[in-house]
Amino acid sequence: MNAYPQSVIKLIDEFGKMPGIGQKTAERLACHILKLPAEEAMQLAYAIRDVKKHAKTCSVCFNVSENDPCHICSDMSRDRSVICVVEQLADFLTIEKTGKYHGLYHVLQGHISPLEGIHPESLTIEKLLQRVKADHVKEVLLATNLNMEGDATALYIHKQLYVLGVRITRLARGLPTGSYLEYANTAIVADAISGRSEMLGV
């Protein structure tokens, strides 16, 4: 017999669906919501409602924004000759926080993983290639995660870009192999951007 009422069980179940949230954490979050005054608890509900209502995907870089194109793509002070390719929104935020990168971005919305049913056509790779061709991009910085899936994704994109004659760089390996960009220390990511190396050959 479950000690929680049905409404709390439902809340725990919903928290448990979130990535990285286990049963115990889901229970703690639900109990925290229960302790909050109703007005404060509803602020979370309103925030979720508003983000689903107003947030959209940028048609250029696939970043999340309330405008299309997003504020990065619309910023004419950015270096438009360089595109930094990341797997997901969290990676974009990590790089932007360093203050070391001033070019544009392209969010792949994942990584290549045949075992998970994620193939190149499942990502925004074709849109990236179109941007590089149309916008006369000089450098593409492949900032995918430094693990097996991220390296496989970077290698695939490298092969597609190599024939276009664009400079292709990769984050410096100061980042630990097997690491996820979104969890990396900002200073380490900044060094990895500054020390990025060119990817040669195919």
Share of the chain above pLDDT 90, in %: 73
The overall average pLDDT reported for the chain is 89
Which of 108, 105, 199 has its CA nearest to residue 158? 199
Contact indicator for 107, 63 with CB cutoff of 8 Å: yes
What is the token pair recorded at 3?
Answer: 């000690």
Q: Which residues are CB-contacts of 168 (< 8 A; sequence separation ≥ 6)?
A: 139, 140, 142, 158, 161, 162, 198, 199
Region 113-127 average pLDDT: 93
Band the pLDDT of 59: cuts 50, 70, 90: very high
137 burial (CB, 10 Å; 0-12 / 13-18 / 19+) is buried
Give the E-state strand segments of 126-196 in sequence order: 139-142, 167-170
**What pLDDT is stored for residue 147 in this prediction?**
86
Q: Are strands 197-198 and 167-170 parallel, antiparallel or unpaired?
A: antiparallel
Phi/psi for 146 (5° steps) reads -90, 60
Taking residues 139-161, what's their average pLDDT? Answer: 93
On the question of pLDDT at 202 being above 80, the answer is no
What pLDDT score was predicted for residue 8? Answer: 93
Q: What are the structure tokens assigned to 36, written together?
A: 């909050």
pLDDT at 3 over 90: no
The partner residues of 139 in beta bridges, in order of sequence, read: 82, 167
Mean pLDDT of 49-66: 93
* Mean pLDDT value of segment 38-58: 93
E strands in 66-172? 79-86, 103-107, 139-142, 167-170
Average pLDDT of the segment spanning 61-81: 95
Whole-number Å distance between alpha carbons of 84 and 91 = 10
Residue pLDDT, tens place only, 151-188: 999 999 999 999 998 999 988 766 666 667 777 777 77
Instruction: Say if residue 1's pLDDT is above 60.
Output: no
Q: How confident is the model at residue 144 (pLDDT cuts 50, 70, 90)?
A: very high
Torsion, Cα 20 25 27 31, to 10 degrees, reads -120
Domains in the chain, start-ordered, CATH in brackets?
A: 6-54 (1.10.8.420), 64-198 (3.40.1360.10)
Give the SS3 label for residue 157.
Answer: helix
Residue 123 has pLDDT above 80, yes or no: yes
Count Cβ atoms below 10 Å from residue 199 Cβ, excluding itself. Answer: 19
26/96 Cα distance (integer angstroms): 30
